[in-house]
């Protein structure tokens, strides 16, 4: 009996170290290995379908595995939704050259945005310079459908125009956003037709680079600015042909009408758009009246800095303390200026109590701060003496 007990004891003596080894192995697998993998001491790899590079202890890639990416992002969804509302706009003009056969030519192309459908018509906003001088306007939809359109109204100073076409081929209009809450750094997407209709519905993406920028504009191409446009700046690529296209936010809402680009070899990523909050009232007025009615003073004026300083004293008889202003070249008969007593070679230095240094200052006050019917106080110099008068503004 005693011999049997000794045999049993010898038979199961190995159980204790076995159980101890199992416990130690479980601890290594569940605790030690994960900590070593986090520290990149041992290689790691994912097996969830989105594989990543396997690393060694020196944090150097050992091999590359395939990466699965879902391309159905918010940007692609937004672009897919908005693209049908952005169209091509073709400016067609009649030839009047005696030496050529009479007919029509394509004078230029741009872009436009469908923003409203009403009473069987679709309304498109584009740039003034896109349709300027057009005898006929053709709209090209995103699916290459060509539709004849008519101009409702156009405005030089805002560089905006509204055209209208039948809505039977149009299904979507763009959602109007707001440019007042646009922030620098937020995403911006430009959609249009750069370099013509062969690149129609092109999409570029960037960020808002600046808000409330002022850009000088030279309408008569004489090298001197005639106006300052307030614009949104973006680094999304905007090229010739993009004019009139849509600048949208990440939600697909219209925040600007693409209008200008600085085309210099040394400049990249500098595009501009008319803020939609500035554009909407002008679009509505163009729909209603065909023109934007602005206060009219009735003078042809030039900035003092356009003539030599010697003329300030010899011709205009200005005192030395005058440092800026606009001189009157002509006064339209029966205009507010004429009725206010202004004459040729008078120099306006203040409007409504605010200093005037150039033509842009004068237009900013007239067009942005005054209304038709307002009485405008004017301070001016004549033959070296300062005078004051008033003019009641009428419609231009």
Q: Is 243 a catalytic residue?
A: yes
> How far is Cα 153 from Cα 307, in angstroms, rounded to an integer?
36
Q: Is 9 a catalytic residue?
A: no
Helix, strand, or coil here: 91?
Answer: strand
How far, in Å, are 136, 297, 381, 394 from residue 334 at the CA level?
Answer: 37, 10, 21, 11
Helix (H) or strand (E) holding 114: strand 104-118
Task: Give me the catalytic one of 111, 128, 129, 200.
Answer: 129
Task: Give me the catalytic one of 243, 259, 303, 346.
Answer: 243
> In this structure, what token pair is assigned to residue 146?
């060509």
Helix, strand, or coil here: 361?
Answer: helix
CB 347 within 8 A of CB 328: yes
Q: Is 172 a catalytic residue?
A: no
CA-based nearest residue to 207, from 276, 274, 269, 254: 269
> How far is Cα 85 from Cα 204, in angstroms, rounded to an integer?
16
- CA torsion sign for 192, 171, 91, 133 is negative
> How far is Cα 127 from Cα 91, in angstroms, rounded to an integer?
11
Task: Give me the catalytic one of 111, 128, 154, 159.
Answer: 159
CB 125 within 8 A of CB 176: no
> How far is Cα 177 from Cα 254, in angstroms, rounded to an integer?
5
Helix, strand, or coil here: 126?
Answer: strand
> 8 phi and psi, to 5 degrees?
-65, -45
Helix, strand, or coil here: 177?
Answer: coil
Residues marked active site are found at 129, 159, 243
């Amino acid at each position: 009996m005693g011999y049997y007990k000794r045999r049993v004891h010898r038979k199961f003596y190995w159980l204790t170290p076995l159980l101890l080894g199992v416990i130690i192995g479980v601890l290594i697998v569940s605790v030690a290995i994960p900590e070593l993998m986090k520290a990149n001491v041992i290689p790691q790899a994912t097996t969830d379908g989105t594989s990543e590079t396997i690393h060694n202890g020196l944090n150097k890639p050992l091999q590359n595995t395939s990466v699965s990416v879902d391309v159905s992002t918010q940007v692609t969804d937004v672009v897919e939704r908005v693209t049908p509302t952005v169209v091509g706009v073709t400016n067609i003009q009649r030839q009047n050259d005696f030496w050529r056969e009479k007919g029509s030519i394509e004078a230029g192309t741009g872009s436009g945005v469908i923003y409203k459908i009403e009473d069987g018509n679709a309304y498109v906003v584009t740039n003034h310079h896109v349709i300027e001088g057009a005898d006929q306007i053709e709209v090209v939809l995103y699916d290459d459908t060509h539709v004849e359109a008519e101009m409702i109204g156009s405005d030089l100073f805002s560089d905006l125009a509204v055209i209208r076409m039948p809505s039977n081929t149009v299904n979507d209009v763009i959602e109007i956003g707001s440019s007042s809450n646009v922030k620098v750094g937020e995403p911006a997407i430009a959609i249009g037709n750069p370099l013509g209709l062969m690149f129609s519905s092109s999409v570029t993406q960037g960020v808002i680079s600046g808000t409330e920028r002022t850009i000088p504009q030279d309408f008569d191409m004489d090298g001197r600015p005639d106006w300052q446009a307030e614009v949104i700046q973006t680094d999304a690529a905007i090229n010739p042909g993009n004019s009139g296209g849509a600048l949208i936010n990440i939600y697909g809402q219209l925040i600007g009408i693409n209008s200008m680009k600085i085309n210099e070899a040394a400049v990249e990523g500098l595009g501009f758009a008319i803020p939609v909050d500035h554009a909407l009232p002008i679009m509505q007025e163009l729909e209603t009246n065909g023109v934007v009615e602005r206060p009219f003073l009735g003078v042809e004026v030039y900035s003092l800095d356009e003539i030599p300083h010697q003329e300030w004293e010899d011709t205009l008889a200005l005192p030395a303390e005058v440092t800026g202003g606009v001189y009157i070249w002509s006064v339209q008969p029966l205009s507010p200026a004429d009725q206010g007593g202004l004459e040729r070679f008078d120099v306006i230095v203040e409007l409504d109590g605010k200093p005037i240094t150039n033509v842009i200052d004068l237009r900013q006050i007239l067009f942005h701060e005054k209304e038709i019917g307002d009485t405008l106080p004017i301070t001016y110099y004549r033959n070296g003496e300062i005078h004051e008068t008033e003019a009641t503004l009428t419609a231009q």
